[in-house]
Amino acid sequence: MARKTYTEEYKKHLVKLVQAGRSPEQLAKEYEPSARTIRLWLQAEEKQNLANESQKDQELKKLRLEVARLREERDILKKAAAWFAAESVSTHKKGTGS
């Protein structure tokens, strides 16, 4: 006997129904897959969600580090601009007296 295959859309639909409060046993009676199969799909979905969250956490950490570096660079440039502006004014005043 060949195994029945289900589309990803169908699996996601049943997983959403479980997440909405229906039991896998209820769905097994109403739909074709067994309660065990639906539970396996639910576990796979949860693992995928955890993997996605982990990836998002890593990206968020990377972006926070980049923001900190950019702020540091901005502060250095502000100080340099202020220093050059002060030097320009003091050099200009010294040069006009001759």
* 15 close to 21: Cβ distance less than 8 angstroms: no
> For 77-92, what is the mean pLDDT?
89
What pLDDT is recorded for position 70? Answer: 98
Query: Collapsing DSSP states into helix, strand and coil, what is residue 94?
Result: helix
Res. 50: pLDDT tops 60: yes
In the predicted model, is pLDDT for residue 4 greater than 90? no
DSSP 3: P
Q: Is residue 3 part of a domain?
A: no
Specify the amino acid at residue 44: A
What Å distances lie between residue 40 and 16, 50, 54, 74, 94, CA to CA? 13, 15, 21, 51, 81
* Residues 6 or more apart whose Cβ sits within 8 Å of residue 11: 41
**Residue 61 domain-assigned?**
yes
The answer to whether residue 48 is domain-embedded is: yes
Number of domains in the chain: 1
Closest C-alpha to 6, from 25, 32, 27, 26? 32
Give me the chain's average pLDDT, please.
91
Confidence of residue 94 (pLDDT cuts 50, 70, 90): low
Q: Judge whether residue 10 has pLDDT over 90.
A: yes
**Owning domain of residue 17:** 8-96
**Is 1 a member of any domain?**
no
Q: How confident is the model at residue 65 (pLDDT cuts 50, 70, 90)?
A: very high
pLDDT of residue 93: 66
- For residue 22, the model assigns a pLDDT of 96
In a domain, 88, yes or no: yes
Domain membership of residue 2 (yes or no) is no
- In 3D space, the residue among 9, 18, 10 whose CA is nearest the CA of residue 42 turns out to be 18
